Amino acid sequence: MHHRHRMFVVLMLVALACTAMPPAIPRAALAAVQPAYAPNELIVKLRTSDPHAPAALAGAAGFAAVGAAEPLFAGAQPDAIGLAQVWRLHLAAGVDPLDAASRLMRLPEVVYAEPNYQFTLAASAAAIPSDSLFAQQWALHNTGQDGGVAGMDIRAVSAWETSVGSPEVLIAVVDTGVDYTHPDLSDGRVRTDIDRDFVNGDDDAQDDNRHGTLVAAVIGAAHNGGGIAGVLPEVAILPVKVISGAGLGFSGTIARGIRYAADQGADVINLSLGGFICTQVIADAIAYATLERGALVVAASGNNSGALSYPARLPATIAVGAIDNRGLHAEFSNSGPGLDLVAPGVDIISAAPNNSFNLASGTSLAAPYVAAGAGLLLAQRPDLTNHQLAAILRASARDLGPAGFDEQYGHGLLDLSAALQLATPNDPPPLEVVTCADCPASVAAAEDYELATALSLLRRFDERVLAASPFGQRLRTTYRRHSAELATHLLADPALRRATAAYLSDMLPAIAALSGDGRDVTIEAGLISDGAQLLEQVAARSSPALAAELRDLWASTAPEQYTGRSANAVWAEIQNRQTIYLPLVQQ
């Protein structure tokens, strides 16, 4: 089969580009296909709250569970998000969580099933003891020190003329804990009466890593004449420990921490952590925090120079990238179409445990500046909703890079002074909460670097061709509805992943032709038969709803009739046909 003669007929399977896909995937991101997770745990959301159902369904799916399942969110009451229906299932020895999740995803009683994925912190720090530190805080007041550009800061000094925050505003630092004995954080504003440690299972969220303390001090270090100055000398900070002293945490623990922070009344939740895999349990917890509790969730974009990490990539969060003291995109900072803002994130001096101060870099340090900015707005206007806060932060940002929004700087640099002066938006769109969906195209391609770099072509096809076509929009809707299930099957089955990547490679010339980036190509019979075979491989692993939709879509398009014709001519004919039927699965 000649690679220069390929077609697009099964884009709806796996090869369709995700709108949040980066221009290229760097080699550091290729580990996405081998994610780390707890070896014998599974997180399962059911359509029932029956505590006996998870173990019974495990048996029906053909694998063994150990003991009874336990609710992940203990004490959760019924709500629109359904946190009371999420369970942690303990697997028998030798059961692969990815394979078990893939099996459970086929059952109609299961909303989602996923391993308890591991997440890491979004900063790298090197200890440099310092004193007389405000002069070094270029993020707050950039005078051109250390080769920076004067004025390239978040305009904190001018903002303080209007407000320095309020103790009525509660910002949760969902992280490694906070050293509440540090002189810059020991004045009672750290809420040790309601802090929580989900790693060790107690109510003392003391920091045994330093990361959470760095983050908390950026937000609220006291203006006490020593050490550093936080953005908000008047604010309450809620430490919620979800990451261990080694800097690692699991999706189930992080989700519990988010829900706890929201239930304690956090106005803003800072997540300076991330991973490559979208997990529905974290997406559910963020949906609960934003929709049910009205919190604003701010997340670090990630530090591997690639696409936005999760949970920053979720539309319900404010995704924050990093710049240096010249206003330039930090080379490590992840970017993409979902990026909202940038903030200082290179050589940031902050407080650390044991009465010390560290210099740190990473989007972990950029995110808390934005979280503090939201807190500053709430101190002045406590009636603002989370989506109004988000709208003001974006609209008041100082444009950097190309004019208007761009993928490296988002809407621009956080500007506290401008945000305080901006009028309250009348009716901004609410924060978008969507089903978590990994991009199966990037999962399939990530083991082949050359193929991964071609994903930008898929994205252009998605944006230029599919988005502009009624039929293409239907394909996009179908694909996105089932992206999480497709990605789970690909992660669990290396053979299916390889077959999908090979087919994706075969289709690239036709996709280029349809996107206007290459010559027209002829559809060969081999590609049609290969597509039918791949479709059946995917359908055999899939839930009945997905399998039926794939088969009906293939049958309704009848691709066999297009053998020997040009890709562009076929696409034009499909566009003009009024009889194509695409069944919609009701969720």
Phi, psi of 23 (to 5 degrees): -60, -30
Q: Report the C-alpha gap between 484 and 500 in whole angstroms.
A: 16
β 234-241/165-175 pair status: parallel
Q: Report the C-alpha gap between 125 and 435 in whole angstroms.
A: 34
Query: How many Cβ atoms are within 10 Å of 31's Cβ, its own excluded?
Result: 12
In contact, 102 and 492? CB cutoff 8 Å: yes
Query: How many Cβ atoms are within 10 Å of 62's Cβ, its own excluded?
Result: 11
Query: Among 99, 153, 175, 493, which one carries the catalytic annotation?
Result: 175
3-state secondary structure of 371: helix
> Which residues sit opposite 342 in a β-bridge?
321, 413
In contact, 113 and 100? CB cutoff 8 Å: yes
In contact, 327 and 397? CB cutoff 8 Å: no
Looking up tokens 């910002």 gives: 171
Query: Among 163, 272, 364, 442, which one carries the catalytic annotation?
Result: 364
Q: What tokens were used for 413?
A: 């640099």
Q: Is 364 assigned a catalytic role?
A: yes
Q: Is 3 assigned a catalytic role?
A: no
In contact, 140 and 153? CB cutoff 8 Å: yes
Which strand ranges, in their side-by-side order, compose the sheet holding 165-175? 196-197, 234-241, 165-175, 268-271, 296-300, 317-323, 341-344
Looking up tokens 């290459």 gives: 518
- 497 phi-psi bin (left φ>0, alpha ψ -120 to 50, beta other): alpha
Q: Go through 314-353 and write b for each residue having 16 or more CB atoms within 10 A of its CB, e for each that does not.
A: bebbbbbbbbbbebbbbebbbbbbbbbbbbbbbbbbbbbb
β 348-352/356-361 pair status: antiparallel
3-state secondary structure of 342: strand
Q: Is 211 assigned a catalytic role?
A: yes
Which of 322, 321, 350, 326 is closest to 151 using CA atoms?
Answer: 326
Radius of gyration of the chain (CA): 25
Residue 91: DSSP 8-state: B
Q: What tokens were used for 89?
A: 């299932």
Q: Report the C-alpha gap between 41 and 37 in whole angstroms.
A: 8
Looking up tokens 């305080």 gives: 420
Query: Among 211, 387, 411, 482, which one carries the catalytic annotation?
Result: 211
Residue 5: DSSP 8-state: S
Active site residues: 175, 211, 364
